[in-house]
């Protein structure tokens, strides 16, 4: 079986259908390590990726005014227990463009593997990008994932990101995002992670509200069990009139797991406002008892609460 077949078969682990790669209306890139196995573009989308010995390097461009009806699928991964994948990509949403990118990061057999992503995203004036990133790292916990991104959101532009890693082991995850928002721009960053065993997560998301009336939300939901650890930092700084930001972090800790959550909010303009909420703890007792009073066992009740939080 080829590497492409192996990655295709794993797509359902992140909620995607393998058949999307056969659909001629849908743009996609499939890369195994530093090799591109499959690619397709559609009108309005340009994918220029180059294979190098050390990295995949290139750009994804959505042309000005283009409204891409079908999501663009970017499927990265390794079908072997070991190896490395390094991706340096610039994503450019030209003025008025609209697109949805689904990034599937698949490492089903990882025992000692690494995936490193360095991205620069530019969301042009009035453009909109929804970036959904689903990860599956297999059961072994031998994956190391380091996604770092700088995102610039232009005037009146909108950026929505949703990172999820909900099944299998996490391994080591080190996310570092920096987002700059111009006037009337909007950034919503959401991350949902379920960590087990000795998984270790560091997650740092920083939003700089530079423009008037710029807005942002950082929402993080992390559930930890076993001996997993998480250190979460959500930063929002507001520099302009009418800027509004909110940081919302919730971590559920079970077993011997432990977690920290640090919301940092800074305001540099008298007409700006940033709020935050952070909660770390075990499953809420009242929620648990309410479900048990309807006949759910403690295990069923915890599962329902956790799956709701990670939804």
Partner 1 sequence: MPVPLLDITGLTFEADHRPILDRLDLSIQPGEIHALLGANGSGKTTLAYVLMGCEGYAPSGGRILFDGTDLIPLKMYERARLGLTLAWQEPARFEGVTVREYLSLGKPDADPAEALSHVGLDPARYLHRRVDKALSGGERHRIELASVLSMHPKLAILDEPSAGIDMLSISHIIGIIRAVKAGGGSVLLITHQEEVALIADRASQLCAGRIIFSGSPRDAVDHFRGRACVRCDGEECHYVRP
Q: Pattern 66-85, binding to partner 1, x per CB under 8 A?
A: --------------------
CB of 100 to partner 1, least distance (A): 22
Task: Report if residue 5 touches partner 1, rule: CB under 8 A.
Answer: no
Stretch of residues binding partner 1 (CB under 8 A), selected from 161-169, 182-190, 253-261, 293-301:
293-301
In degrees rounded to 5, what are phi and psi of residue 260? -135, 150
**Total site size for partner 1, rule CB under 8 A:** 23
Task: Report if residue 25 touches partner 1, rule: CB under 8 A.
Answer: no
Q: Pattern 192-231, binding to partner 1, x per CB under 8 A?
A: ----------------------------------------
Q: Which residue reads 């721009």 in tokens?
A: 185
Stretch of residues binding partner 1 (CB under 8 A), selected from 72-80, 84-92, 141-149, 287-295:
287-295
Tokens coding 62:
């959505």
CA 277: distance to chain centroid? 20
Task: Identify residues 233-262 at the interface with partner 1 (CB under 8 A).
Answer: 250
Task: Report if residue 270 touches partner 1, rule: CB under 8 A.
Answer: no
Task: Identify residues 88-107 at the interface with partner 1 (CB under 8 A).
Answer: none
Task: Report if residue 296 touches partner 1, rule: CB under 8 A.
Answer: yes
Return the residue of 3, 23, 287, 303 that touches partner 1, per CB under 8 A.
287
Task: Pick between residue 63 and residue 248 the one whose CB is nearest to partner 1.
Answer: 248
d(CA 179, CA 154): 11
3-state secondary structure the chain: CCHHHHHHHHHHHHCCCHHHHHCCCCCEEEEECCEEEEEECCCCEEEEEEECCCCEEEEEEECCCCECCCCEEEEEECCCCEEEEEEEEEEEECCCCEEEEEEEEECCCCCEEEEEEEEEEEECCCCEEEEEEEEECCCCCCEEEEEEEEEEECCCCEEEEEEEECCCCCCEEEEEEEEEECCCCEEEEEEEEEECCCCEEEEEEEEEECCCCCEEEEEEEEEECCCCEEEEEEEEEECCCCCEEEEEEEEEECCCCEEEEEEEEEECCCCCEEEEEEEEECCCHHHHHHHHCCCCCHHHHHHHHHHHHCC
CB of 248 to partner 1, least distance (A): 10
Task: Report if residue 1 touches partner 1, rule: CB under 8 A.
Answer: no
Task: Pick between residue 2 and residue 300 the one whose CB is nearest to partner 1.
Answer: 300
CB of 249 to partner 1, least distance (A): 13
Return the residue of 24, 25, 270, 286 that touches partner 1, per CB under 8 A.
286
Task: Report if residue 298 touches partner 1, rule: CB under 8 A.
Answer: yes
Task: Pick between residue 19 and residue 279 the one whose CB is nearest to partner 1.
Answer: 279
Task: Report if residue 281 touches partner 1, rule: CB under 8 A.
Answer: no
CB of 299 to partner 1, least distance (A): 10
Q: Where does this chain bind partner 1 (CB under 8 A)?
A: 250, 284-287, 289-298, 301, 304-305, 307-311
């Amino acid at each position: 079986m080829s590497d492409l077949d192996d990655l295709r078969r794993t797509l359902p682990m992140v909620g995607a259908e393998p058949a999307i790669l056969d659909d001629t209306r849908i743009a996609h890139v499939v890369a195994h390590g530093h090799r591109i196995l499959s690619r397709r573009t559609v009108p309005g989308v340009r994918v220029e990726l180059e294979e190098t010995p050390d990295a995949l390097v290139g750009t994804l461009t959505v042309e000005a005014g283009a409204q891409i009806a079908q999501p663009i699928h970017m499927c990265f991964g390794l079908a072997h227990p070991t190896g490395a994948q390094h991706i340096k990509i610039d994503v450019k949403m030209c003025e008025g463009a609209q697109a949805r990118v689904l990034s599937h990061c698949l490492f089903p057999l990882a025992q000692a593997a690494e995936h490193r992503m360095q991205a620069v995203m530019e969301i042009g004036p009035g453009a909109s990008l929804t970036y959904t990133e689903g990860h599956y790292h297999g059961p072994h916990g031998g994956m190391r994932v380091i996604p770092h991104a700088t995102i610039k959101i232009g005037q009146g532009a909108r950026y929505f990101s949703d990172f999820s890693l909900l099944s299998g082991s996490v391994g080591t995850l080190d996310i570092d995002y920096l987002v700059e928002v111009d006037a009337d721009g909007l950034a919503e960053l959401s991350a949902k992670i379920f960590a087990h065993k000795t998984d270790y997560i560091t997650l740092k998301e920083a939003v700089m509200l530079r423009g008037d009336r710029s807005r942002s939300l950082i929402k993080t939901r992390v559930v930890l069990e076993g001996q997993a650890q998480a250190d979460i930092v959500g930063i929002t700084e507001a520099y302009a009139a009418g800027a509004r930001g909110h940081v919302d972090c919730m971590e559920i800790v079970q077993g011997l797991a432990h977690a920290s959550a640090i919301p940092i909010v800074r305001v540099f303009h008298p007409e700006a406002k940033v709020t935050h909420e952070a909660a770390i703890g075990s499953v809420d007792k009242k929620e648990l008892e309410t479900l048990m009073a309807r006949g759910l066992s403690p295990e069923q009740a915890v599962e329902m609460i956790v799956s709701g939080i990670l939804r």
